[in-house]
Amino acid sequence: MLCLVEIILYLTAGSLFLNISRQVRFARACDGAANGCRGAVAPLGDRLLGADESLPLNYLSTPYILTIKLAWIVSVKKTRWHRMTRKTAIITGAARGIGLATAKLFLAEGRKVAMVDRDGEELARATKGLKNTVPLVFDISDSAQVAQMAAEATAALGRVDALVNNAAVADFGPIETTGFARWRRVMETNLDGVFLCSQALTPALKASKGCIVNIASISGLRASTLRVAYGTSKAAVIHLTRQYAAELGEYGIRVNCVAPGPVRTKLAMAVHTPDIITAYHDAIPLNRYGSEGELAAVIGFLCSDSASYVTGQVIAADGGFESTGIGLPSLRQ
């Protein structure tokens, strides 16, 4: 719609300038004629052509120049809009939580979004009523499925401007009870999935000079109990982000990472006891959990042209949790 308005305005402005040009040529011709027409049209020539044959300053207030100004304003606003956002995105783990919140943010920005999740029923519920979405049911821990997902998503979107690697498995347990099967179940989604999706979509991102945002965790920045597999997988995602940023930067691809702290998701609220919630509040300088929308806003920034010179970075969106170290509650009372 914006492009159509811009075209109409420029065509109108062009037509007006052609009319002015004809009048100027006629005025010039009459200025040198001896048939007496100078007296009738000289004022027009004098208004349009000053002593230096240029338009006088007061001519800027005419409808002609106002039309040009309006066309210019529309063009500038269009440019600003394109700087603010890009056109498409692929989000894994998009059926719930941070992934779904990010998808809704992107849709509000005018993007077309491919929403990927292995839970087909939940994905169908999440995408019901959402326009400009491409629901894709795939398991991103499977290399063959990732290849098919990348092909279908690229074909449906036409181009890929952003990839958000959000899908993850949250499996916590003591080190002594974590066998290799449990370790691999976490790693194949949390780490292998990020690698597989990034590899499969790098050609499309090279073509668009797009970006990747990987979702790690505060558990990848600081150790904690019960997270030997989960925390290690997220620490690996953080370093993987920097590796990709270092190598893909020459193609104009930016790669960044968001490390969420405690977030008020349905799952977290279901498993966190009041004691756990209180302990987190005591340890977080902002004294609260984050929201899915707040995390989506950080992801949206990193996927926008406002972050055009940001790559290889890890942003801990955690209310200050990581910055406080151990953060003994007794020291804050």
Task: Examine the domain organization and report whether 273 and 228 are in the same domain.
Answer: yes
Give the pLDDT confidence of 199-241 residue by residue, as tens digits.
Answer: 999 999 999 999 999 999 999 999 989 999 999 999 999 999 9
Task: Examine the domain organization and report whether 45 and 168 are in the same domain.
Answer: no
Q: Which two tokens stand for residue 135?
A: 């629901």
Task: Examine the domain organization and report whether 128 and 266 are in the same domain.
Answer: yes
Task: Examine the domain organization and report whether 150 and 242 are in the same domain.
Answer: yes
Among 63-72, 99-108, 129-138, the range scoring the smallest mean pLDDT is 63-72
Instruction: Give the pLDDT confidence score for residue 272 in this predicted structure.
Output: 86
- Binned at pLDDT 50, 70 and 90, residue 47 comes out as very low
**Residue 47: how many other CB atoms lie within 10 Å:** 15
Q: What is the mean pLDDT of residues 298-320?
A: 97
Indicate which CATH number applies to the domain containing 140: 3.40.50.720
Task: Examine the domain organization and report whether 328 and 274 are in the same domain.
Answer: yes
pTM value is: 0.75
Task: Examine the domain organization and report whether 111 and 186 are in the same domain.
Answer: yes
Instruction: State the SS3 of the chain.
Output: CHHHHHHHHHHHHHHHHHHHHHHHHHHHHHHCCCCCCHHHHHHHHHHHCCCCCCCCHHHHHCHHHHHHHHHHHHHHHHHHHHHHCCCEEEEECCCCHHHHHHHHHHHHCCCEEEEEECCHHHHHHHHCCCCCEEEEECCCCCHHHHHHHHHHHHHHHCCCCEEEECCCCCCCECHHHCCHHHHHHHHHHHCHHHHHHHHHHHHHHHHHCCEEEEECCHHHCCCCCCEHHHHHHHHHHHHHHHHHHHHHHHHCCEEEEEEECCECCHHHHHHCCHHHHHHHHHHCCCCCCECHHHHHHHHHHHCCHHHCCCCCCEEEECCCCHHHCCCCHHHHC
Please tell me the distance from the alpha carbon of residue 236 to that of residue 230, in angstroms, as a whole number.
10
Q: What is the mean pLDDT of residues 128-154?
A: 98
Task: Examine the domain organization and report whether 122 and 170 are in the same domain.
Answer: yes
Task: Examine the domain organization and report whether 51 and 148 are in the same domain.
Answer: no
Q: Which residues are catalytic?
A: 230
Single residue among 81, 110, 145 that ends a domain in this structure? 81
Q: What is the mean pLDDT of residues 40-62?
A: 46
Average pLDDT, the chain: 83
**Residue 176: how many other CB atoms lie within 10 Å:** 7
More confident call, 325 vs 268: 268
Task: Examine the domain organization and report whether 104 and 229 are in the same domain.
Answer: yes
Single residue among 18, 47, 81 that ends a domain in this structure? 81
Task: Examine the domain organization and report whether 92 and 64 are in the same domain.
Answer: no
Q: How many domains is the chain built from?
A: 2
Single residue among 81, 108, 123 that ends a domain in this structure? 81
Is the confidence at residue 38, as pLDDT, over 50? no
Is the confidence at residue 55, as pLDDT, over 80? no
- Binned at pLDDT 50, 70 and 90, residue 39 comes out as very low
Task: Examine the domain organization and report whether 295 and 270 are in the same domain.
Answer: yes
Which domain range does residue 57 map to? Answer: 2-81
Q: Which residues contact 309 (CB under 8 A, 6 or more apart)?
A: none
Give the pLDDT confidence of 117-129 residue by residue, as tens digits.
Answer: 999 999 999 999 9
Q: Which two tokens stand for residue 333?
A: 């009372």
Among 43-52, 105-114, 201-210, the range scoring the smallest mean pLDDT is 43-52
Task: Examine the domain organization and report whether 67 and 130 are in the same domain.
Answer: no
- How many angstroms separate the first and last alpha carbons of the chain? 57
Instruction: Give the pLDDT confidence score for residue 265 in this predicted structure.
Output: 85
